[in-house]
Amino acid sequence: MRIRRLLAVLLATALSTGTLAALAPAPAIASTGRQASAVTSIVWMPYWNYEVGDLVYGLTNRSAMYRCLVDHFSMPEWAPEDTPALWQRI
């Protein structure tokens, strides 16, 4: 499951940016004590399963990073900028 997610993230990042250089190393999450994910900081995407602690860049402001607060399956209208109940800007 993790491998499929990693491959999907790499493909989405490569298609949206034209390069894989935008991937950042995973910072540790103090509240959970685990890495956010294998790839971490990606641009938020709809129709994706997010877990508490996952880190994404915002959809409209790609310089803003958000931490997932609630496990959920994202919908197009649930971008991090629009749903403070699901995402915390960091």
**pLDDT tens-digit series, residues 40-49:** 568 999 999 9
Tokens of 53: 């602690």
Say if pTM beats, i.e. exceeds, 0.75. Answer: no
Question: What pLDDT was estimated at residue 61?
Answer: 84
DSSP-derived secondary structure letter, 49: E
pLDDT surpassing 50 at residue 28: no
Residues recorded for the chain: 90
Class of domain 2-89: mainly beta
* Order of strands, sheet of 87-89, starting from the edge strand that comes earlier in the sequence: 42-43, 55-57, 65-68, 87-89
Per the DSSP assignment, residues forming a β-bridge with 66 are: 56, 89
Higher pLDDT, residue 43 or 1: 43
Question: What pLDDT was estimated at residue 53?
Answer: 94
6 near 39, Cβ under 8 Å? yes
